[in-house]
Amino acid sequence: MVKSAPPENTNRKSSKLEGIKERSNFLREPVATEIQEDTNRFSEEAIQILKFHGSYQQDNRDNRAPGQEKDYQMMLRTRNPGGFIPPQLYLTLDKLSDDYGNHTMRITTRQGFQLHGILKKNLKATIAAIVKNMGSTLGACGDLNRNVMAPAAPFKNKPEYQYAIEYADKIADLLTPQTGAYYEIWLDGEKAISAEESPEVKAARDRNGTGTIFHDSPEPIYGTHYMPRKFKISVTVPGDNSIDLYTQDLSLVVITDDNSQLQGFNVFCGGGLGRTHNKEETFARKADEIGYVSKEDVYDLVKAIVATQRDYGDRVQRRHARLKYLINDWGVDKFRSKVEEYFGKSVEPFRQLPDFKYYDYLGWNEQGDGKLFLGISIENGRVKDEGSFQLKTALRKIVEQFNLDIRLTANHNLIFLDIEPDKKSAIEEILQNHGINSDPEKIEPLVRYAMACPALPTCGLAIAESERAIPGILDRIRKLLNSLGLQKESFVVRMTGCPNGCARPYMAELGFVGSAPDTYQLWLGGCPNQTRLAQPYMQKLKAEELEKQLEPMFAYFKESKETEESFGDFCNRVGFDAIREYAGSYKPKSSTIGKKLRHRVTVRDDVYDKLKQASESQGKPMTEMVNEAIKAYLEAE
Question: How many whole angstroms separate alpha carbon 233 and alpha carbon 383?
Answer: 26
Per the residue annotation, which of 141, 269, 498, 571 is the catalytic one?
498
Question: How many whole angstroms separate alpha carbon 447 and alpha carbon 444?
Answer: 5
Burial string for 419-458 (b: 16+ CB within 10 Å, else e) reads beeebeeebeebbeebbbebebeebebbbbbbbbbbbbbb
Task: Kindly list the distances between the CA atom of residue 137 and the CA atoms of 171, 177, 232, 406, 593, in Å, as whole numbers in the listed order.
Answer: 16, 11, 15, 17, 48
Question: Whose CA is closest to 462, among 26, 60, 2?
Answer: 60
The gap between the terminal CA atoms of the chain, to the nearest Å, is: 88
Per the residue annotation, which of 269, 459, 527, 571 is the catalytic one?
459
E strand map for 545-598: none
Q: What angle do CA 127, 141, 241 make, to 5 degrees?
A: 115
Per the residue annotation, which of 21, 41, 79, 146 is the catalytic one?
146
Per the residue annotation, which of 269, 453, 527, 571 is the catalytic one?
453
Compute how many other C-beta atoms are within 10 angstroms of the C-beta atom of residue 499: 22
Per the residue annotation, which of 41, 106, 232, 392 is the catalytic one?
232
Q: Rounded to an integer, what is the distance from CA 193 to the centroid of its chain?
A: 28
Give catalytic status of residue 275 as yes or no: no
Contact 271, 251 (CB under 8 A): yes
Give me the DSSP letters along 261-326: -EEEEEEEE--B----TT-TT---BPPEEEEEEEGGGHHHHHHHHHHHHHHHS-SS-GGG-SHHHH
Per the residue annotation, which of 21, 51, 230, 315 is the catalytic one?
230
Give catalytic status of residue 230 as yes or no: yes
CA atoms within 13 A on the CB side of 19: 8
Question: How many whole angstroms separate alpha carbon 198 and alpha carbon 189?
Answer: 23
Per the residue annotation, which of 77, 106, 158, 612 is the catalytic one?
77
Question: How many whole angstroms separate alpha carbon 252 and alpha carbon 233?
Answer: 8
Question: How many whole angstroms separate alpha carbon 536 and alpha carbon 564?
Answer: 24
Per the residue annotation, which of 269, 502, 527, 571 is the catalytic one?
502
Helices 567-574 & 576-584 angle (0-180, nearest 10): 90
Give catalytic status of residue 382 as yes or no: no
Contact 46, 103 (CB under 8 A): no
Question: How many whole angstroms separate alpha carbon 135 and alpha carbon 115?
Answer: 13
Give catalytic status of residue 396 as yes or no: no
CA atoms within 13 A on the CB side of 629: 11
Task: Kindly list the distances between the CA atom of residue 476 and the CA atoms of 66, 226, 543, in Å, as whole numbers in the listed order.
Answer: 34, 45, 10
Give catalytic status of residue 232 as yes or no: yes
Residues designated catalytic: 77, 146, 230, 232, 453, 459, 498, 502
